[in-house]
Amino acid sequence: MAVGVFDSGLGGLTVYDAVSKRLPDVAFVYYGDNAHAPYGVRDADDIFNLTCRGVERLWEEGCDLVILACNTASAAALKRMQESWVPKDKRVLGVFVPMIEALTERKWGDNSPPREVAVKHVALFATPATVASRAFQRELAYRAIGVDVEAQPCGGVVDAIETGDEILAEALVRSHVEALKRRMPHPEAAILGCTHYPLMQSVFQEALGPEVTVYSQANLVAESLTDYLTRHPEFEGAGKVSKFLTTGKPASVSTHATQFLRRRIAFEAA
Ligand code: DGL
């Protein structure tokens, strides 16, 4: 069985790392669209077309279930894909749902009226496209009342990570946290709403302070995928081999992936 993991570039590796540890018997095929990253500055049509192309490539690898390990694609393209494009025998799931479930402490299918939740002041760090989509606030509002969300578009961070420039990425994270804190001085929780950002999680935590709970998606998605595969074993695709595909230059993508995950990752051309 094989499951596809899609991202615009390296960020989805944070999700890959968690799901592959949680489900060691499942083969995962990773697709990084590094040639077109970052998605966060693209428009919704562009993100839709690029995401569909990547997902089709993962279907070719025998992955009937694909996780969009990319908030930007989940926010800007997933609904349209599910409504008009994904065939009945395939599934494409995003990374928003497990995060909203964790924050609101309720299951996705729970359609009871929105209610008060423990956290009241939430900082959201995401790409400009995810912030502009307001998808996170919309989904949260269906389920929770009285939560004040302050969103910070973190321009430049994905680019710095993709080019392996950790020093620049760190400086940008600190300045985005400062900018957010000027508008919301005391957030109780912070959402890392881009799968690249856990690669900088310690910097976010340090800049935010120890009293802020930082939610990142990787482990939440791993639990949610485990539960999904137990309930829907029919979507364990026919693929058998784990591999890493990129639309970018395999040698440099492998170097940056190895640098960030601190273990050898070898990409091949998609
Ligand atoms: N990892 C993607 C996300 O979660 C990055 C998006 C981008 O390429 O800008 O949003």
Q: State the chain's maximal CA–CA distance in angstroms.
A: 51
Torsion angles phi and psi, residue 213, rounded to 5: -80, 120
The pLDDT of residue 45: 96
* Residue carrying the six token digits 């990425």: 169
Q: From the options 1.20.1250.20, 3.40.50.1860, 3.90.1150.10, 3.40.50.1100, give the CATH code of 2-94+218-269.
A: 3.40.50.1860
Euclidean distance between the first and the last CA atom of the chain, given in angstroms as a whole number: 20
Cα 7 to middle of ligand 1, angstroms: 7
130 lines ligand 1 (CB under 6 A): yes
* 209 pLDDT tier (thresholds 50, 70, 90): very high
Span 5-22, average pLDDT = 95
Strands (E) located in 19-145: 27-32, 65-68, 91-93, 115-116, 121-126, 144-145
CATH class as words, domain 97-217:
alpha beta
Domain map (residue ranges) of the chain: 2-94+218-269, 97-217
pLDDT at 9 over 90: yes
Instruction: Compute CA distances 52 → 47, 65, 91, whole Å.
Output: 8, 13, 12
Span 183-188, average pLDDT = 96
247 lines ligand 1 (CB under 6 A): no
Exposed, middle or buried, 111 (CB in 10 Å: 0-12/13-18/19+)? exposed
* 228 pLDDT tier (thresholds 50, 70, 90): very high
Please count the residues of the chain: 270
Q: How far is Cα 45 from Cα 270, in angstroms, rounded to an integer?
A: 22
The pLDDT of residue 189: 94
One fold for both 2-94+218-269 and 97-217?
yes
Sheet holding 243-246, edge to edge: 91-93, 65-68, 2-7, 27-32, 243-246, 267-269
* 142 pLDDT tier (thresholds 50, 70, 90): confident
Which 3 state secondary structure label does DSSP give 217? helix
Question: Whole-prediction pTM value?
Answer: 0.92
Question: Which two three-digit tokens encode residue 92?
Answer: 């494409």
Give the least confident one: 59-73, 97-111, 175-189, 193-207.
97-111
Instruction: Compute CA distances 168 → 82, 158, 203, 261, whole Å.
Output: 36, 10, 12, 18
Which 3 state secondary structure label does DSSP give 247? coil
Average pLDDT across the chain, whole number: 93
Which residues are part of the catalytic machinery? 70, 194
Cα 159 to middle of ligand 1, angstroms: 10
For a substitution probing ligand 1, which of 5, 13, 51, 70 has the most ligand atoms within 8 Å of its CB?
Answer: 70
Contact 126, 153 (CB under 8 A): yes
Span 142-151, average pLDDT = 92
pLDDT above 90 as % of the chain:
82
